[in-house]
């Protein structure tokens, strides 16, 4: 039997959980509204400055120097990291440290991207003054065009005034999110404008699972004498020996031009089990038009293919000819699976 005290405690716990979810939903709705406001601004007054910033950075011979303080500074470090990892050389300079020697990191060839929601951040004074003195292009990300920062900047990315998710309207929540969003939009636009490819991305991300997923088929494939290949006329008695020796669980079947025309898997063998299996030829057993990948196919894409088809090996084809084979174990070995 539940005592009145325990019953009351249970009701309080349920009420607290309900309030927690209501708060979370309200926060997300508020921040979604903020993102929608930025999207609307991009179709209006923000479009021109955004294009100007894009063009400025595209033509720059230097780096993008991102700066800010507080929450804007934290967002700035992420924007700098995103730019740097997607082909736009960039780093973060702390606004306070700038006035204590770090201004020497900035050259006249750079572009400074300064974040301040109010545009009145005192700690930015040193770096803003430095850009004006040495004619370093200054782009402001702020909500106030007529602020000290806005008036000093060459280009102002004026973000719309939005409600903070904080019920007191004090903690930067929605404002920080839309600063990050406009930074991401700029980084992606520059990435696409430069034609930055997945292979370029790999150069800056060699480690971890991401680095593994950016390896290509030619990086991990087996080739040469390791390939389990037979001619269409090869007796299955010989084909099974080769299939066992190579250890990939498959045989590739080629024509007189060395084009891959079929594949033999364990499943094909089971479907053709009979007393005369060994007397048949590879051409009689094979499945035609097998799935294959190109040498530059990303390992992550190969993993998706083998998973979707429930297979363990796939041939790598160049100009119709098999040049390699990738096994599921190879994907495990490099860490993509």
pLDDT digits (tens, 9 = 90+) for 83-140: 988 889 999 999 888 878 788 899 999 999 999 999 999 999 999 999 999 999 999 9
pLDDT of residue 234 exceeding 90:
yes
CATH 3.40.50.10490, the chain: domain bounds: 8-196
Q: Mean pLDDT for the chain?
A: 88
Quote the pLDDT of residue 17.
60
Residue 208 pLDDT grade (very low, low, confident, very high; cuts 50, 70, 90): low
pLDDT of residue 296 exceeding 70:
yes
Of 168, 73, 162, 170, the residue nearest 113 (C-alpha): 73
pLDDT in tens, 150-186: 999 999 999 999 999 988 888 899 999 999 999 999 9
Quote the pLDDT of residue 179.
97
Please compute the mean of the pLDDT values over residues 33-47 and round it to a whole number: 94
Least confident of 37-51, 56-70, 211-225, 241-255: 211-225
For the chain, percent of residues with pLDDT exceeding 70: 89
- Most distant CA atoms of the chain, gap in Å: 90
Least confident of 249-263, 267-281, 306-320: 267-281
Burial of 327 (0-12, 13-18, 19+ CB in 10 A): buried
Quote the pLDDT of residue 146.
95
Give yes or no for a contact between 229 and 331, defined as CB atoms under 8 angstroms apart.
Answer: no
Quote the pLDDT of residue 207.
56
Whether domain 217-334 has CATH 3.10.580.10: yes
Q: Which CATH class is domain 8-196?
A: alpha beta
Residue 188 CB coordination number (10 Å): 13
Quote the pLDDT of residue 1.
52
**Radius of gyration from C-alpha coordinates of the chain:** 30
């Amino acid at each position: 039997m539940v005592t009145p005290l325990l019953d009351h405690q249970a009701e309080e716990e349920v009420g607290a959980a309900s309030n927690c979810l209501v708060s979370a939903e309200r926060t997300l709705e508020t921040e979604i509204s903020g993102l929608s406001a930025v999207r609307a601004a991009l179709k209006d007054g923000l479009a021109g400055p955004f294009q100007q910033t894009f063009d400025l950075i595209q033509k720059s011979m230097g780096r993008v120097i991102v700066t800010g303080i507080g929450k804007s500074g934290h967002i700035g470090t992420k924007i700098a990291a995103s730019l740097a990892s997607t082909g736009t050389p960039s780093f973060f300079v702390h606004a306070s440290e700038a006035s204590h020697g770090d201004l020497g990191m900035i050259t006249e060839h750079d572009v400074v991207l300064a974040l301040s929601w109010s545009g009145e951040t005192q700690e930015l004074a040193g770096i803003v003054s430095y850009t004006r003195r040495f004619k370093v292009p200054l782009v402001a990300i702020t909500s106030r065009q007529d602020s000290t920062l806005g008036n000093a900047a060459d280009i102002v990315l004026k973000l719309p005034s939005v409600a903070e998710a904080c019920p007191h309207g004090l903690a930067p929540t929605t404002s920080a999110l839309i600063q990050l969003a406009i930074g991401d939009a700029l980084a992606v636009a520059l990435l696409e404008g430069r034609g930055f490819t997945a292979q370029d991305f790999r150069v800056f991300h060699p480690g971890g699972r991401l680095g593994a997923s950016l390896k290509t088929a030619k990086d991990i494939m087996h080739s040469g004498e390791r390939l389990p290949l037979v001619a269409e006329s090869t007796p299955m008695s010989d084909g099974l020996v080769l299939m066992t020796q190579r250890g990939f669980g498959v045989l590739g079947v080629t024509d007189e031009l060395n084009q891959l025309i079929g594949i033999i898997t364990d499943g094909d063998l089971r479907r053709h089990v009979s007393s005369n299996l060994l007397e048949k030829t590879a051409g009689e057993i094979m499945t035609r038009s097998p799935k294959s990948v190109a040498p530059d196919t990303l390992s992550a894409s190969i993993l998706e293919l083998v998973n979707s088809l429930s297979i363990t090996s796939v041939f790598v084809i160049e100009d119709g000819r098999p040049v390699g084979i990738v096994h599921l174990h190879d994907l495990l070995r490099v860490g993509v699976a």
